[in-house]
Amino acid sequence: MNVLILTGAGISAESGIPTFRGPDGLWEGHRVEEVATPEAFARNPELVQKFYNLRRRNLLSPQIRPNAAHDSLAAFEQAHQGDFLLVTQNVDDLHKRAGSKKVIAMHGELLKARDMDTEEIFDWRDDLTSESVHPKIPGRLGRLRPHIVWFGEMPMGMEQIEAAAIKADVFIAIGTSGRVYPAAGIVELTPANCRRIEINLDETPASPRFNESHRGAATELVPQILQSLR
């Protein structure tokens, strides 16, 4: 059985990380689309860096931990015999902290920085500013950006994601609003006989494309549904 999982902000909500489009989905009066674009970064790099610096600090605070949904995905992967791939739109590292191994962070990772010119990627846990220095070249300032996919940029790992989608026997989308493409289109790449399962607190625009929609909290439903697949 080939299993493909897609997660979104809803899986980390119960760990204390706010979602994008819920009631907490605004940041200091900005829509996320207004800070998460290359144009926004060119116009006002401090604002964009501050947005991600605050989110990085929050992610690193001790109360933020993987929850039962992250944990059950890692346990399922470990026990599973067939192919397994976990694709996440989340830029937090909670799947990795829970012990998931085959993870594609299609929208990038908050705990990494990227040199805008050389494309080198570095682990990064501090604030990023216009003064941030390349870790290996002491005199090189201000060329680092968050390793995040902004609107208008190509998500990471699309070839691998598409290859997994076309041979999936089970596809589960967890805690995603189904509004941001190409992630929202992955369900349509799965074969006609694939069992397509949606787990979300609410109905989403993508719900009609699934065979089963389970309404409720990820921490309750994800362990239950994964258990039923074993």
Binding interface with ligand OAD (CB under 6 A): 8-10, 13-14, 19-22, 25, 32, 36, 89, 107, 149, 175-177, 179-180, 200-202, 204, 217-218
Is the Cβ of residue 2 or residue 87 nearer to ligand OAD in the bound state?
A: 87
Nearer residue to ligand OAD within complex by CB, 14 or 120:
14
The catalytic residue among 107, 134, 147, 214 is: 107
Half-sphere exposure of 179 (CA within 13 A, CB side): 10
Report in angstroms how near the CB of residue 121 gets to ligand OAD at its nearest.
Answer: 17
Burial of 79 (0-12, 13-18, 19+ CB in 10 A): exposed
Of 2 and 67, which has the nearer Cβ to ligand OAD? 67
> Active site includes 107?
yes
Q: Which is nearer to ligand OAD, 123 or 202 (CB)?
A: 202
CA 91-179-20 angle, 5° bins: 45
Give least dist CB 51 to ligand OAD, A: 10
- Shortest distance (Å) from residue 173 CB to ligand OAD: 9
Contacts of 230 (CB under 8 A, 6+ apart): 76, 79
In the complex, minimum distance from the CB of residue 126 to ligand OAD, in angstroms, rounded to a whole number: 21
| Closest CB 131 distance from ligand OAD, rounded Å | 25
Determine the residue type at 64: I
CA 140 to chain centre: 30
Q: Which is nearer to ligand OAD, 144 or 206 (CB)?
A: 206
Alpha carbon separation from 176 to 12, 87, 147 (Å, rounded) = 11, 12, 21
Locate 220 and state its tokens: 């309750």
- CB-closest chain residue to ligand OAD: 10
- Distance, in Å, from the CA atom of 156 to the CA atom of 151, rounded to the nearest integer, reads 13
Backbone angles phi and psi of 59, in degrees to 5? -60, -35
Rounded to whole angstroms, the Cα distance separating 49 from 41 reads: 8
Active-site positions? 107
